[in-house]
Structure 1
């Protein structure tokens, strides 16, 4: 059996509960893990990250097969899940841990992410500037088990949260039928 090398992409898009489902179970996506990155404390807990004292973002780390699901496609889906113009968090969730960021794992990802951000800014889709940061990847710590694939474990709560936070309406308003299902 052929051994394959997979790539990793890391994205902060506000509450990580809402960042798993759009990527999960797509052809070429090996796994999607909720966690914390970008901070200074080793292995932080959810409570520590929420306290805004660790410098971490809530994020997802996606293991993917570049041949089946290119990094550019990850970025397309990512942009369609967030408000890239909000520097203070995402939707209902405010604070540093809920800000948006693309964490690149190599210079190629950095180049592709910067180009993708430039194209989105120039598209005119958003009236305000795109403020999503593009940062070098730092250690990624898996979130507690109850956060993993939350949309599957707690579908009613997930739906209520994603709708109630304003995320669903924002995505429909800015992307309409273009959005990945």
Structure 2
């Protein structure tokens, strides 16, 4: 039985590749969630008027990759101490959120967040929100698989994120 995970961690361009490289991931879609417009566009979301945040929707096989493993990957792609965006991407549309699709996912996300808070990796509080999933709207086609379609631009857009994550995790990728 397939499951769905939805994660917001700043620009969705930077959130696809880290998950896309693992067995058991059936699909990853860039999109918008958490807002009030029924047909959000990139321009409208960036304006801050829709209430949406950029996110990725991941369909996965839990027999191959667990939700807990996805949570570990998620924490290692974001700055969970920054509620007002991620890295150079600022504003509500870039806020970090784990959108749970079941009560089991909610419990796992809360436990994972507490484990990260207790880990000592961050001195500041972990402020990533954990919210019930709401409608997810697929982003425009040019946003899908951005790292594959535009590798040079992707590389430039992810430099600050990569430097921060290397500093925090420095060889500890599987310890969150």
With structure 2 as the length reference, what TM-score do the two structures score? 0.97
Q: Cα RMSD (Å) of the superposition?
A: 0.8
Counterpart position of 2:48: 52
Counterpart position of 1:179: 173
- Tell me, in whole angstroms, the C-alpha distance in 1 between the residues paired with 2:133 and 2:65: 20
Q: CA deviation at 1:26?
A: 1.3
Counterpart selection for 1:13 from 6, 9, 21: 9
Which residues of 2 match residues 123-134 of structure 1 at below 5 A? 123-134=119-130
Q: CA deviation at 1:176?
A: 1.3
Q: CA deviation at 1:92?
A: 0.4
Give the match's secondary structure for 1:55. coil
Matched, 1:29 2:25: yes
Counterpart position of 2:88: 92
- Tell me, in whole angstroms, the C-alpha distance in 1 between the residues paired with 2:48 and 2:173: 32
- Tell me, in whole angstroms, the C-alpha distance in 2 between the residues paired with 1:67 and 1:45: 35
Deviations 1:48-77 (A, max 9, x none): 000000000100000000111000000000
Which residues of 2 match residues 1-181 of structure 1 at below 5 A? 5-163=1-159, 166-179=160-173
Q: CA deviation at 1:25?
A: 3.6
Give the match's secondary structure for 1:21. helix
Which structure 2 residue ranges, 5 or more long, are not aligned? none
- Moved segments of 4+, more than 3 Å: none
